[in-house]
Structure 1
Amino acid sequence: MSDTAASLKETVGRYGVWSVGLRSEDPARRGEIEEAAAELESLGYGIAWLGGSSAPGNAAPLLAATSRLAVGTSIQSIWQHDAETSAADFAELEAAHPGRFVLGLGVSHAKLAEQYRRPYSAMVGYLDELDRAGVPTERRVLAALGPRMLELSRDRAAGAIPYLVTPEHTARAREILGEAPLLAPEFKVVLESDPARAREVARAYLVMYLALPNYTDNFLRLGFTEDDLLDGGSDRLVDAVFAWGDDTRIRARVEEFHAAGADHVALQVVTGSSDRDALPRQEWRRLASLLA
């Protein structure tokens, strides 16, 4: 393993949190976000992944409020932020907070980006521009699902941050990446022991992703069927992409990813709240305790 790869793995640690709410641009929420970031650091999480379409600017408040916590975009859409600006923003964060910002990049989805075209070639071109601007390979990761993008994560980035995947996908991704690159899948957690209620919460959240072919195609590659994708997802699918249950069960589900080859797991708490930007701080505390 290279020193740079080992250093990134040490920086992010075994667990981080993934949250849309942490990337809010509402000035009124800055204090809340800074306070939450400081608590995440004190709880022992290695990194805060800024969900949704985030950018380096969203990371600045969290980095300023902490001294060790890493912050990453998960993801920055290459269609919404040009490479030249991204490189300049990266350099500014790196100067202020050396070694603590990770640029997570992705191609988003055809339904969400009007410019969407030839996503693999577009990502290659974007990485070429970052190279010319001096953004180091070891500080950028890709939201990779399929084999070609995983190979690109291995060859042109520090690793992969796959979203909405299973331990089986993690095992396949590790085979493609090899040992050195970072493999940091996102995994959703519902802190609910009742099966019916847990699946209800999970299914209500999953349904929006089942309209996006990048995810459904990946599920089919993993052996799920078209029937598994109906009505918000079958129990089989829901149970594969969400952890729920008591502390022991949730801990075991998370550890399945490490056993399959993950270096790090980005944990997204799903509460059933209609406010996606709400910060589930009580749940983050419970997760930190059960994973300690």
Structure 2
Amino acid sequence: MTQNWGMTIPFQDRSLARSRELVEQLPELGYTDVWSAEVSGVDGFVPLALAAQWAPGLRLGSAIVPVSTRGPGLLAMSAATLADLAPGRFTLGIGSSSPAIVERWNAGTFTRPYARTRDTLRFLRRALAGEKVSEKYETFEVDGFRLERAPEVPPKIVLAALRPRMLRLAAEEADGAITNWLSPDDVRTVRAEIGPDTELIARLFVCVSEDAERVRALARRMLAAYLTVPVYAAFHDWLGRGEVLRPMHEAWAAGDRQAALRAIPDEVVDALVVHGDAAACRARIAEYVANGLDTPVLAPVAGGEVPIAEAVRALAPGA
């Protein structure tokens, strides 16, 4: 397999400090990329800075860093630092995030998420190219910002995008689109919005386990936490799951969390979470790729009978 094959870091069952040995093994296993995330655990940049030293051949990507939890200049500085550590190997993934992360956890303001993401993208293009930026954008204003040390190779910038408007922005002005919580068939729907030439990246949650009921119980908790967020609810409405997920949304809105979990059908869980033995999981990931996914970013889920380190090795493209 010659296309990209990514892994999420740090791993779910260990701290970043304990991840070095497994990260170092990724290139020899056939992985091409490592991608971080930024929710309420590690930040989006430090794991990549370490991976740049631990596994110098890997592409490094953030999936994603919110555009409203840092100022534009600080975001440019962090991206420039990674681009300097790994010239030509760092891809900056940014996105609007969610009201909980931006407002409740970071004391920010979650308004006009599409415009804020677009404006941040346009600012970063100029700043990372070494320009002095003085510009009044629709959602913020920058006066006289210039990086002290612009990267020799500006990083590519990709956008978290779940619906047509943001997907089209990713295709027209960014270097790619990032998505998650979708099925192989959904890849075709997303690909139709961005065309054949835009890189499509998706985080795929994978549990190497043949105990389907155990995996589904675990996955329902993960799905309920995400699919009740308004942007993900709208994403799955667009993908055609509005009616089948309606009972979950109604139970969640009524405060009955257990009923909400029970209301998620098995077929939705099986569509959105990769599970089975390692061979079945690899075959399922291959379906995503066949339908137009350029970069699967695997996120092995703890809780199956296979430990994370073993799953990482078993899911490798050369396994």
Q: TM-score range by the shorter chain?
A: 0.7 to 0.9
Quote the Cα distance in structure 2 between the aligned partners of 1:113 and 1:63.
28
Distance 1:99-1:138 versus aligned 2 partners, 3 A rule: closer
RMSD: 2.3
Is 1:144 matched up with 2:161?
yes
Tell me, yes or no, if structure 1 residue 16 matches structure 2 residue 44.
no
1:284 is aligned to 2:312: yes
Q: Secondary structure at the match of 2:55?
A: coil
1:149-188 superposed matches below 5 A: 149-188=166-205
Within 5 Å, which residues of 2 pair with 1:196-207?
196-207=213-224
Instruction: Name the structure where helix makes up a greater proportion of residues.
Output: 1
Query: The residue matched to 2:62 in structure 1 has which SS?
Result: strand
1-structure distance, mates of 2:291, 2:227:
24
Indicate if the aligned counterparts of 2:23 and 2:55 stay in contact, CA closer than 8 A: yes
* Matches for 1:73-112 after TM superposition, within 5 Å: 73-112=62-101
Distance, in Å, in 1 between the alignment partners of 2:186 and 2:238 is 9
Match of residue 30, structure 2, among 23, 26, 44: 44
Which residue in the other structure is 1:6 paired with? Answer: none
Q: TM-score, normalised by structure 2?
A: 0.77
Distance 1:248 1:97, change over 3 A: closer
| Distance of 2:38 and 2:85 partners within structure 1 | 24
- Can you list the C-alpha shifts for 1:52-109, whole angstroms capped at 9, x where unaligned? 3443344111111122011111110111122212222222222232111111111111
What one-letter code is carried by the residue in structure 1 that aligns with 2:70? H
Q: What's the TM-score, normalizing by structure 1? A: 0.84
After TM superposition, the structure 1 stretch with the greater mean CA deviation from structure 2, 165-174 or 232-241, is 165-174
TM alignment of 1:183-262, pairs within 5 A: 183-228=200-245, 230=248, 231-232=260-261, 233-262=264-293
Q: Distance in 1 between matches of 2:316 and 2:186?
A: 25
Inter-partner Cα distance in structure 2 for 1:205 and 1:264: 22
Matched-pair contact (CA < 8 Å) for 1:169–1:222: yes
Q: Distance in 2 between matches of 1:238 and 1:140?
A: 31
Return the offset for 1:168: 2.8
Is structure 2 residue 117 aligned with structure 1 residue 123?
yes
Offset at residue 227 of structure 1 (A): 4.1
Percentage identity across paired residues of the two chains: 30
Secondary structure at the residue paired with 1:111? Answer: helix
How is 1:44-63 mapped onto 2 (pairs within 5 angstroms)? 44-53=30-39, 54-63=43-52
The structure with the larger Rg is 2
The 1:228–1:36 alpha-carbon spacing in structure 2 relative to 1, beyond 3 Å, is: same
Counterpart residue type for residue 282 of structure 2:
R
**Contact 2:33–2:60, Cα closer than 8 Å, also in 1:** yes
Unaligned runs of 5+ in 2: 104-108, 130-152, 249-259
Contact kept in structure 2, 1:142 and 1:159, CA below 8 Å: yes
Shift of 1:138: 6.3
Q: State the distance in 1 between where 2:204 and 2:277 align.
A: 16
Aligned to 2:106: none
Look up the equivalent residue of 1:267 and give its one-letter code.
Answer: L
2:102 aligned residue (109, 113, 118): 113
Deviations 1:22-56 (A, max 9, x none): 8x9xxxx5542332321222211111111234433
Letter in 2 for 1:64: Q
**Number of equivalences:** 270
The one-letter code sitting in structure 1 at the alignment partner of 2:271 is: A
Inter-partner Cα distance in structure 1 for 2:37 and 2:206: 15
